[in-house]
Amino acid sequence: MNSYTLAKEQYAALGVDTEAALASLSRIPISLHCWQGDDVGGFEKPNATLSGGGIQATGNYPGKARTIDELRGDLDQALKLIPGKHRLNLHACYADLGGKKVERNAYTVEHFQSWIDWAKARGLGMDFNPTYFAHPLADNGFTLSSPDEGVRRFWIEHGIACRRIGAAIGRQLGTTCVTNVWIPDGYKDIPVDRVSPRKRLEASLDAIFAEKIDPKHNLDAVESKLFGIGSESYVVGSHEFYLAYAVKNQKLYCLDAGHFHPTEQLHDKISSVLQFVPELLLHVSRGVRWDSDHVVLFDDPTRGIMEEVIRGGFVSRTHIGLDFFDASINRIAAWTIGTRNALKCLLSALLEPRAQLLTAEKAGDHTARLALLEEAKTLPLSAVWDEHCRRQNAPVGAAWLAEVRRYEKDVLAKR
Ligand code: RNT
Ligand code: ZN
């Protein structure tokens, strides 16, 4: 008997249908963030590096994608190593400008058409992000909440342009595009006036979202943050600000796993937030001390997130995206490790002996609940995961690493 058949029986004895779990897993897309491939550089100008914005990619592993074609080749390689059909999450600074200088507030779908065509040819959906950093008008640390009306106007226009691009993406690909607003605005040191920037941010967001856009094509999300590099003392778009904004305006709220206090985790936020906002966007990430963007692991915080999505029945209202950038290891391996781990956490949640756990909980039998939760942790998840990889034509176990090494030698080493 092979290990999957044995595992299937073991799970069945606990009332878990592994076939149903595999079917569910194959229907959940993960939105792969383009920015892991080039350290959040983008292609607006040659050799762009991430400047400012309170985020930083550290490391100098060789082979970083320098052009759109290289990034697409790298994404193709990563996608081969990740089981299932997924999505591409693109930032506006990855526009295909054909060498021309186009201001961000003048971006239209034509600057992203080659990405849409690329995604379409691969049957991938896409998500989108206005880029409010790495730009001279963001250099003083304020964009949508800037006291300068001209600066604010520029970024509002960028936001409006990006929603229209998002809608075009959604329409062309036949799957809703989530366009996520994250801005870096904040102060390194203690502000006196915490109110005015927040008032200006609210007004700017209202202006961006004023145009009615069919939610079938584009959904708007807003992402909060606790602090960034250079905005340690005050971030305009804090958790309370955006949660309240999303509730009031019925927007999607984006929870980034690296954007809270180090001991704070996302799992307990999901059912609270989804009670009051229509849908949720997740930036699955890993905070380590001051960095919010380490590669996602098969760890308790990530498992906790996926458990809540599954237990709450929230799959149809949750958009799962990744958000990390590590330039110190092979970038394709980073995508592969992080995405496979997010999927593995989802599978682990789908394989939970839920009926038994709920029976114990409803009966007030907290002893059995704890006992079962702990026993479930060492059930043969890996046999089911391997079966998933096999059925989805992705490498089983660590076999993907040899593929990355081969690609590194054949492609990355020549850059
Ligand atoms: C930054 C936010 C944001 C970015 C991307 C590049 O702290 O998490 O989501 O990482 O937009
Ligand atoms: Zn994020």
Share of the chain above pLDDT 70, in %: 99
- pTM given for the model: 0.98
Q: Which of 305, 233, 243 is nearest to 270 (CA)?
A: 305
Atom of ligand 1 nearest to the CA of 129: 11
* Catalytic site positions: 182, 223, 225, 256, 259, 283, 291, 293, 323
Average pLDDT over residues 387-406: 98
pLDDT of residue 47: 73
Residues lining ligand 1, Cβ inside 6 A: 35, 40, 55, 91, 129, 182, 223, 225, 256, 283, 292, 323
Burial class of residue 265 (count of CB atoms within 10 Å of its CB; 0-12, 13-18, 19+): middle
User: Are β-strands 291-294 and 286-288 bridged in parallel, bridged antiparallel, or unpaired?
Assistant: antiparallel
The residues with which 291 forms a beta bridge, in sequence order, are: 288
- Contact between 336 and 400 under an 8 Å Cβ cutoff? The reply is yes
Query: With b meaning 16 or more CB within 10 Å and e meaning fewer, what string describes 46-67?
Result: eebebebbbbbbeeebebbbee
Amino acid sitting at position 236: V
CA distance 52 to 188: 12
Please name the CATH architecture into which domain 28-350 falls. Answer: Alpha-Beta Barrel (3.20)
Which of 224, 283, 296, 319 maximizes ligand 1 atoms within 8 Å of its Cβ, making it the mutation to test the pocket? 283
pLDDT in tens, 111-124: 999 999 999 999 99
Closest Cα to atom 1 of ligand 1? 55
Distance (angstroms) between ligand 1 centre and the Cα of 102 equals: 23
Closest Cα to atom 10 of ligand 1? 323
Average pLDDT over residues 355-374: 98
- Would the pLDDT of 51 be above 70? no
- Contact between 91 and 133 under an 8 Å Cβ cutoff? The reply is no
Average pLDDT over residues 141-169: 98
| Mean of per-residue pLDDT scores for the chain | 97
Domain ranges of the chain: 28-350
- Would the pLDDT of 106 be above 70? yes
pLDDT in tens, 293-325: 999 999 999 999 999 999 999 999 999 999 999
Which of 89, 182, 319 maximizes ligand 1 atoms within 8 Å of its Cβ, making it the mutation to test the pocket? 182
Average pLDDT over residues 187-206: 98
pLDDT of residue 54: 82
DSSP structure class, residue 322: E
